[in-house]
Structure 1
Amino acid sequence: MIVESREKAARSEGQGPRRRRAGKSTSAASPVTLTGRGGIAVIFVLSLVGALIGWSFLPGLIFVLACVLAALATKPAALPGLAVAPPVAYFLAMSTGSVVHTLGDRNFLQSLAVDLPLKLGGSAAWLFGGTALALAIAFKRGLLQAWRALNTEAAAFRLTQDRTTEEDPVRWDES
């Protein structure tokens, strides 16, 4: 009895033996896991496909779906990078799509100067909606914890850099 109660106490404190079935994980993770760069690439590529198709609402709808897909499939530790990237990826995809669409025009720069702002302005609601949806999913999946971990790593790096500067025996600024 005493041995059993000690084993229970040790397991509750995280010191006891952990049993895990081989091949099965306890968390419900998605079958495909992306890095932060992979999630951004998914948003860019799918948005570019939508921009090249160019129907009225399709680029925006594809962007929203790409944001949801990327936010669901990206590793939780890589969510801070993904949280800020959708607007930039969408802008680059729409810019590339506009360049491709206006390549054959006689006045290339004039056509591009008219086409790109019209496309971006017409899809602003989709841009805000997709970005907000990606942020909501990222918050649900642990964005705040990832930001805290990133902040802790950055603080540790700064502390290490300060120590090496203080412990440096050679002072170049002194005569």
Structure 2
Amino acid sequence: MVIFAAGLLGALLSRWLDWSLPAGAGFVAGCVLAVLTTRPADLLTLVVSPPLVFLVATALAEFLTSLGEESLLRGVTVGLLTSLATTAPWLFGGTLLVLLLSLPRGLPDNVRELRAKLARIRLFEEEENENPVRWEEAPASPGDRRLHHGDVD
């Protein structure tokens, strides 16, 4: 929510001022604030969410500022593509900053926990799906034997 609010506010200011700096700066500020205020157990979720949050905040800002135009669809599409193109470095920088600030706060521990949980689930599924009863096929009589595609009479 912090990243979304800061990103939306920055995107709206950027659109109203016709200057791309507030959109990027708001997003990066939201990313830093989110990393510093998120519980260490939730860092894994936070690390993967900034690009999606950035897209949603930018799209909403473009929609809100394009409401009075002749063609809403064209205004939103052109505005969204332009905004994403001009603020792409901020998006990459904010996402990288979230990752780097999350590392000392416990992100590697979260990744290890997730791997362990996935390994336990996979092990449980293998045991559950294993069939304990093996039905052996009756040996075929020599006359019923089918020839292998490499066998020649």
Shorter-chain TM-score bucket reads: 0.7 to 0.9
Identity of aligned residues (%): 37
Q: Give the number of the structure whose alpha-carbon radius of gyration is greater.
A: 2
- State the alpha-carbon separation in 2 of the partners of residues 44 and 168 from structure 1: 52
Are 1:45 and 2:41 matched, yes or no? no
Superposition misfits of 4+ residues, deviation over 6 angstroms:
none
Q: Which runs of 5+ in 1 are unaligned?
A: 1-40, 170-175
Task: Output one character per residue of 1:11-33: Cα deviation in whole Å (capped at 9) or x when no partner.
Answer: xxxxxxxxxxxxxxxxxxxxxxx
- State the alpha-carbon separation in 2 of the partners of residues 68 and 157 from structure 1: 34
Task: Output one character per residue of 1:33-75: Cα deviation in whole Å (capped at 9) or x when no partner.
Answer: xxxxxxxx22112211222222421121111011011111112
Partner residue in 2 for 1:124: 88
TM superposition score normalised by structure 2: 0.77
Are 1:65 and 2:34 matched, yes or no? no
Change (3 A) 1:108 1:168: farther
Task: Output one character per residue of 1:79-102: Cα deviation in whole Å (capped at 9) or x when no partner.
Answer: 111111101100110001101111
| CA apart distance, 1:167 | 6.3
Q: Which piece of structure 1 moves more, 108-117 or 93-102?
A: 108-117
TM superposition score normalised by structure 1: 0.68
Partner residue in 2 for 1:77: 41
> Map of 1:138-149 to 2, 5 A cutoff?
138-149=102-113
Are 1:158 and 2:122 matched, yes or no? yes
